[in-house]
Structure 1
Amino acid sequence: MPTTSGRPLRADAERTVRAILDAAERVLGENPSATLEQIAEAAGVARTTVHRRFANREDLVRTMAISSWRRIDAAVDAARPQTAPPLVALHQATANVIEIKYGAAFALDRADPEDGELVRLQADVFAKCDAVLARAQAAGSIGADADLAWVRRVYLALIAESVHGRTADDLTDPDILASRVIDTLLNGVGRRSGM
């Protein structure tokens, strides 16, 4: 994991940064106005450690967003979008992304849409999404006349809705939610024959 300066970190420093990022997600998710001192306390590090790693709160939030998008990119790659059967890849990528989004909602919701690195990471993820959707269309799982740009927008909205605004009583199993997202994407919510 690089720092905001782009240099690689030692293993112990990387663990410290990861602890700060994880604590920041939890603390800011509960209280968006929490201080860096509260984040440091939750991470089990000194306030000066947080300030040494992050220039300010905005730098911390930006690093959280970049880290989350990197994890999403790796999770999509792990689903083998170019080589696995398209619906298998789509399901696995969906489950992987849902799992990450559960733990990164604050950071992802506050990602700066003008940040060049974030724009590049998102474009990479969306290109992989487009590729697997095109493969699913070629295999006949998505209608030949479907507008794949629209399909991607609907797909991403379904993922977002499966994660955001959930309560403690909501289903949270990423695999089950992925099945629901894919089923809704491919089959809609209309009445099915034989029902």
Structure 2
Amino acid sequence: MGETAARPLRADAERSVRLILEAAERLLSRDPGASMEQIAAEAGVSRTTIHRRFAHRQALTDALALSAARQLAQAVDDGRPATAPPLVALHRITANVLEVKGAWTYALSLPATPDSEAATLHATMAERCITVLDRARAAGLIDASADLHWLQRVYYALLGETLHGNPADDEADPDALAARVVETFLHGAGVRG
């Protein structure tokens, strides 16, 4: 992938890469067929700058996917999946993930190239999800006989619906949304008693 993977960048180069990636996210979310030149214009950089940083469009989308995956992995890690009390970890991770996924919808929709750093990060995040669910089960928050891999899929579906579900839902606070997701995940729609 161009210079971004080859060696550390100077501060001004890092800033231009960040601007390009943020502009690519905004523009490609609206127009997935946008050209490199349109992305450069959106970022406020020259065509030569974008081509110097990313040799071709695939290099740009790979960098976009990797940047988003890194941010998402950091969001999961910040929730302390292995050390925080399970309910706290589940809530914190959910809020963090909703915030990152909301900001990087296009980038996180890109399939990770097999054996890439992004694919490794996604696999690690899946493992951390199972860790939190296993700890929640051990704490009695989840039934002892529950299939954790099935619950992981349900949790992911709740996250997806929260981000892309009802456009009329005006609740945007990640903590409030996380509380709703965790409550639904742990208790469903059954009668409280």
2:106 maps to what in 1? Answer: 106
**Alpha-carbon spacing, 1:179–1:110, altered in 2? closer, same or farther (3 Å):** same
- Count residues in correspondence: 192
| Structure 2 letter corresponding to 1:94 | T
For the pair 1:68 / 2:72, whether they are aligned, the reply is no
Residues 17-58 of structure 1 deviation map (CA, whole Å, 9 limit, x = unaligned): 111100100011111111111111111110111111112112
**Alpha-carbon spacing, 1:6–1:126, altered in 2? closer, same or farther (3 Å):** farther
The 5 A counterparts of 1:83-94 are 83-94=83-94
Instruction: Indicate if the aligned counterparts of 2:70 and 2:118 stay in contact, CA closer than 8 A.
Output: no
**Alpha-carbon spacing, 1:166–1:15, altered in 2? closer, same or farther (3 Å):** farther
C-alpha distance in structure 1 between counterparts of 2:25 and 2:33, whole Å? 12
C-alpha distance in structure 2 between counterparts of 1:172 and 1:193, whole Å? 26
**Alpha-carbon spacing, 1:33–1:115, altered in 2? closer, same or farther (3 Å):** farther
User: What percentage of residue pairs aligned between the two structures are identical?
Assistant: 54
Instruction: Indicate if the aligned counterparts of 2:86 and 2:136 stay in contact, CA closer than 8 A.
Output: yes
Give the CA RMSD over aligned residues.
Answer: 1.8
| Structure 1 letter corresponding to 2:43 | A
| Structure 2 letter corresponding to 1:167 | P
Instruction: Indicate if the aligned counterparts of 1:23 and 1:39 stay in contact, CA closer than 8 A.
Output: yes
C-alpha distance in structure 1 between counterparts of 2:53 and 2:168, whole Å? 33
For the pair 1:80 / 2:103, whether they are aligned, the reply is no
1:18 maps to what in 2? Answer: 18
| Structure 2 letter corresponding to 1:95 | A
Question: Offset of 1:169 from its aligned partner?
Answer: 5.3
C-alpha distance in structure 1 between counterparts of 2:123 and 2:192, whole Å? 38
C-alpha distance in structure 2 between counterparts of 1:165 and 1:140, whole Å? 30
Question: Offset of 1:6 from its aligned partner?
Answer: 3.8
**Alpha-carbon spacing, 1:15–1:141, altered in 2? closer, same or farther (3 Å):** same
Residues 120-164 of structure 1 deviation map (CA, whole Å, 9 limit, x = unaligned): 111111111111111110000011010001111111111111112
Provide the TM-score with structure 2 as the length reference.
0.92
Unaligned runs of 5+ in 2: none
2:150 maps to what in 1? Answer: 150
**Alpha-carbon spacing, 1:169–1:161, altered in 2? closer, same or farther (3 Å):** closer
Unaligned runs of 5+ in 1: none
The 5 A counterparts of 1:111-126 are 111-112=111-112, 114-126=114-126
2:177 maps to what in 1? Answer: 177
Instruction: Indicate if the aligned counterparts of 1:105 and 1:164 stay in contact, CA closer than 8 A.
Output: no
Question: Offset of 1:167 from its aligned partner?
Answer: 3.0
For the pair 1:97 / 2:94, whether they are aligned, the reply is no
| Structure 2 letter corresponding to 1:52 | R
C-alpha distance in structure 2 between counterparts of 1:20 and 1:85, whole Å? 38
Question: Offset of 1:5 from its aligned partner?
Answer: 2.7
**Alpha-carbon spacing, 1:163–1:139, altered in 2? closer, same or farther (3 Å):** same
